[in-house]
């Protein structure tokens, strides 16, 4: 332990082991439970259950495949086609969709509109389905 200039031990900060910067520390399970409470469960076209936060972007992305969401995110951010497919090649389909959705959500928050997202999803869906 280092000593203060006067040779005594420095005073400890007035926090407990359960606080970080004045915020009570929560377990990972408690943190996830708090976030999960704000999510909506819905049934996908394949019959699986999924969850999202129910905002405008989430409603637009419901039912869209990871490929469509990645293509739309690339369009909205001006990335070359295939950029996100390469970046997320080692991830599972859910992670690809979630990460691409987060890019779209950031786009809407910073510079774009929900109408632009709706248009990009529609165009990406047409491109992907035409290519098959």
Instruction: Provide the residue ranges of all domains of the chain, joining segments of one domain with +.
Output: 54-131
Which pTM value belongs to this model?
0.72
How distant, in Å, are the alpha carbons of 14, 36, 68, 107 from that of 23?
Answer: 13, 20, 39, 30
| CA-CA-CA-CA dihedral for 58, 64, 66, 67, to nearest 10 | -130
What pLDDT sits at residue 19?
Answer: 64
Closest CA to 119 of 55, 69, 72, 57: 72
10 Å CB burial of residue 83 (0-12, 13-18, 19+) is middle
pLDDT digits (tens, 9 = 90+) for 7-28: 555 555 554 455 667 777 888 8
What pLDDT sits at residue 43?
Answer: 85
pLDDT digits (tens, 9 = 90+) for 39-87: 889 887 778 888 888 899 999 999 899 999 999 999 999 999 999 999 9
57: which 2 tokens?
């972007």
Please indicate whether residue 117 or residue 41 has the higher confidence score (pLDDT): 117
Would the pLDDT of 115 be above 70? yes
- Angle, in degrees to the nearest 10, between helices 66-77 and 114-131: 130
With contact defined as beta carbons under 8 Å apart, do 120 and 75 qualify?
yes
What pLDDT sits at residue 15?
Answer: 47
What pLDDT sits at residue 113?
Answer: 96
Instruction: Give the 3-state DSSP-derived string for 1-24, with helices as H, strands as E and coil as C.
Output: CCCCCCCCCCCCCCCCCCEECCEE
């Amino acid at each position: 332990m280092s000593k203060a200039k006067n040779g005594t031990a420095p005073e400890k900060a007035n926090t407990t082991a359960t606080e970080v910067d004045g915020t009570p520390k929560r377990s990972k399970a408690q943190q996830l439970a708090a976030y999960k409470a704000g999510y909506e469960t819905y049934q996908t076209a394949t019959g699986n259950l999924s969850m999202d936060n129910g905002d405008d972007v989430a409603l637009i992305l419901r039912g869209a495949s990871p490929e469509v969401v990645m293509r739309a995110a690339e369009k909205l951010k001006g990335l070359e086609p295939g950029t996100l497919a390469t970046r997320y090649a080692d991830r599972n389909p859910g992670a690809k969709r979630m990460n691409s959705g987060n890019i779209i959500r950031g786009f809407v928050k910073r510079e774009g509109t929900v109408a632009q997202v709706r248009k990009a999803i529609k165009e990406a869906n047409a491109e992907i389905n035409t290519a098959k």
